[in-house]
Structure 1
């Protein structure tokens, strides 16, 4: 005997509409299903990863991902709203980490470098497998940054963020806004190459490791404690500051 078909009404808000076909965006629409599936199952079947959802209202009441649909309900799905008071409602995203930590997928190398330059802990390799990113997220409480919707739909993943932007500088702005990180920027305290901590190094020590012209003209040097990469202010830093200033980031 076949299962009875049911129907409910869905509405997605704000950037969650980016995951939907154009015909379903910014409007109520019917959704048919069999049995009594969880609301999480139906949301992801429509293309929206659970990591992007912070609030679900079923007939006006907040519910968790495990809430089962029976038919006849109206389901409203919201992303995170940092400026709204949602006390008393069931928020679905994990609480923010005291010290934000990220892991970027293989397509986000430039973003990872930018985050590191601003002082944020961001792991990156150009050969990360999805399983590695998931394991890092779970074991080290890292937020996975990606444009891979399939990765964000992995059931075990609790901390993830889909990047709507494709330009690395705009992606940086997106991450800073989503996680409210502007006040936590600590420029040039982490190595853009390896993610290690960076600290000052005496000029006399750096002088033998850099070109003569740099040793002569520069007075301040810093060095990565992990890989030994040397840093000093120069024209490259001026250009970088100009590029980031275009998206409202001060370095």
Structure 2
């Protein structure tokens, strides 16, 4: 005989539910005694976006085994609840956040690198490779694919709600509270390596004629050898960064 429990999802977790199920109890039928984590993901909510679970008013972790007639409340990361300080189901984020992005987020990867964040991206990453690298290197997964966030090995992750670059960047900065952690213009936009100052004489052959005449301060990526300087694009990027800080 099938058993049943009731789930209620708070706040941003409703983004993963169909319209008819948002902000209301969601019935869940089951057999045996599945882990509450498995039930949450079967309903559609990926575990990295969950930070607190109450069952019949008591905090539990992901391993709790579901019982008939359980009333389950699921809270998103960022929820301000006193009990979450001691009973959060998420591991604390790394002090220095590092990211890995899925194949749909190439433009976002460059924007995060522009702000100084260690950001892995390749347009041929498989979901399995992303999950493995995230686990091995303690990286936060950013994706437009909800299914990717359900990989068991992924500790931290976020599903981008928007498909527009500036909105995506604002989402990430707000969700992970990154505005105070910018280290702009410190990474290569192409390969993610930290860049370093270099003498003009060592990069002359890589400079356009006008750049050679007008600029004397240069930076280079030691991995891909790309050269950077503070041209007209630099001022535009500075304005962009200041706008992000004010949002």
| TM-score under structure 2 length normalisation | 0.92
Q: CA deviation at 1:226?
A: 1.5
Deviations 1:11-50 (A, max 9, x none): 1011110100101101223322222211111111110011
Contact 1:58 1:75 survives alignment (8 Å) = yes
SS state at 2:220 partner: strand
Q: CA deviation at 1:87?
A: 5.3
CA distance in 2, matches of 1:61, 1:105: 36
CA distance in 1, matches of 2:178, 2:240: 19
Please say which of residues 150-159 and 123-132 is displaced more in the overlay. 150-159
Q: Mark the CA change 1:123 to 1:244 in structure 2 (over 3 Å): closer, same or farther.
A: same
CA distance in 2, matches of 1:31, 1:131: 29
CA distance in 1, matches of 2:135, 2:111: 24
Q: CA deviation at 1:235?
A: 2.2
Structure 2 gap ranges (5+): none
Q: In the alignment, does 2:146 pair up with 1:127?
A: no
Deviations 1:154-200 (A, max 9, x none): 12222222111211222112111222211110001000000011111
Which has the larger helix fraction? 2
Please say which of residues 159-168 and 12-21 is displaced more in the overlay. 159-168
Q: CA deviation at 1:91?
A: 0.8
Q: Mark the CA change 1:87 to 1:54 in structure 2 (over 3 Å): closer, same or farther.
A: closer
The equivalent position to 2:163 in structure 1, one of 142, 166, 182, is 166
Structure 1 gap ranges (5+): none
Please say which of residues 206-215 and 53-62 is displaced more in the overlay. 206-215
Which residue of 2 is the match for residue 141 of structure 1? 138
The equivalent position to 1:94 in structure 2, one of 91, 95, 103, is 91
CA distance in 2, matches of 1:146, 1:15: 16
| TM-score under structure 1 length normalisation | 0.91
Count how many residue pairs are aligned between Structure 1 and Structure 2. 246
Contact 1:173 1:249 survives alignment (8 Å) = no
Q: CA deviation at 1:242?
A: 4.4
Superposed CA RMSD in Å reads 1.9
